[in-house]
């Protein structure tokens, strides 16, 4: 047997090389996001208003959305942005091409930005737990109930082509953030939440690349 060992070893090595090994390779690759919208086709972006379901007292959600996202559209799409408030009766109007075609201000391709929005503020109570480390620390926080102000921004955003009235992008966003400051102002909270929406919104519009995982097969 000892005499045959090298040969046996070689045979096993060859078998292992043939039959074993990985069958795939995991790669991380930057892939563009799919976009049905071609931003370069538009000369003007018109904020035509949002159906506002709820907004904090004294806070004009429509105005804030147009101001915040208007400047972002202007910067990223390099086109003129205007505000033209339209009377929106219900969400069904987003799917009425004739309605949007009739609004077209003239020649030049227009992209309408509309949808439904809601900014809510609520006070929530939370129970503070104590960890093992807290138990040994005399200055650690005490167990008890604390209050937080929670702001939530829900945005159903529709981008509509002016020439055809067709919806080119229809997306829902919901962002929330809790604040320890019970008197947190709505405009500050809106700014933070809108920033999160912005990142997600422009990715598909501009086909921005995003790191993703894929598997390549080796055999």
Partner 1 sequence: MSKTTLAAIVLAFLGMSLVSGCAGPHIKDQIGFGIWAADNDLWDEAVFRWKKVLAQDPQSVAAHNNLAVAYEKKGLWEDARKEYEAALKLAPGNPWVKLNFKNFKDNLEPGKSDKKDKAAPDEKK
Distance CA 119, CA 192 (A): 12
Q: Which is nearer to partner 1, 1 or 139 (CB)?
A: 1
133 near partner 1 (CB under 8 A) = no
Contacts of 28 (CB under 8 A, 6+ apart): 211, 212, 213
Pairwise CA distance, residues 163 & 102, whole Å: 9
- Does 171 sit near partner 1 (CB under 8 A)? yes
Q: Does 2 bind partner 1 (CB under 8 A)?
A: no
Of 107, 97, 109, give the one whose Cα is nearest residue 46.
109
19 binds partner 1 (CB under 8 A): no
- Which string of x and - marks every residue 30-49 that binds partner 1 (by CB under 8 A)? -xxxx---------------
108 binds partner 1 (CB under 8 A): no
Residue 216 binds to partner 1 (criterion: CB under 8 A)? yes
Residue whose C-alpha is closest to residue 169's, from 182, 156, 184: 156
137-160 residues labelled b (16+ CB within 10 A) or e (exposed): eeeeeeeeeeebbbbbbbbbbbbb
24 vs 188, which CB is nearer to partner 1?
24
Q: Shortest distance, CB of residue 30 to partner 1, whole angstroms? A: 8
Q: How far apart are CA 205 and CA 69, in angstroms?
A: 13
Establish if 13 lies at the interface with partner 1 (CB under 8 A). no
Positions touching partner 1 (CB under 8 A) are 1, 4, 7-8, 11, 14-15, 18, 22-27, 29, 31-34, 169-172, 200, 203-204, 207, 210, 212-219
């Amino acid at each position: 047997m000892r005499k045959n060992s090298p040969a046996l070893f070689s045979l096993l090595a060859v078998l292992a090389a043939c039959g074993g090994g990985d069958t795939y390779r995991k790669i991380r690759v930057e892939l563009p996001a799919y976009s049905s919208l071609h931003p370069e086709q538009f000369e003007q972006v018109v904020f035509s208003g949002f159906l506002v379901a709820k907004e904090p007292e004294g806070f004009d959600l429509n105005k804030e959305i147009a101001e915040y996202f208007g400047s972002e559209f202007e910067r990223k799409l390099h086109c003129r942005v205007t505000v033209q408030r339209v009377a929106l009766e219900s969400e069904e109007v987003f799917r009425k091409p004739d309605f949007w075609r009739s609004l077209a201000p003239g020649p030049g391709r227009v992209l309408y930005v509309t949808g439904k929005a809601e900014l809510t503020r609520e006070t929530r109570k939370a129970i503070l737990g104590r960890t093992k480390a807290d138990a040994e620390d005399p200055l650690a926080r005490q167990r008890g109930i604390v209050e937080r102000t929670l702001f939530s921004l829900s945005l159903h955003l529709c981008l509509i082509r002016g020439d055809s009235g067709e919806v080119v992008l229809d997306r829902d966003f919901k962002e929330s953030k809790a604040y320890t400051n019970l008197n947190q102002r709505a405009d500050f909270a809106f700014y933070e939440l809108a920033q999160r929406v912005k990142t997600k919104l422009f990715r598909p519009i501009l086909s921005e690349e995003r790191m993703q995982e894929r598997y390549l097969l080796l055999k």
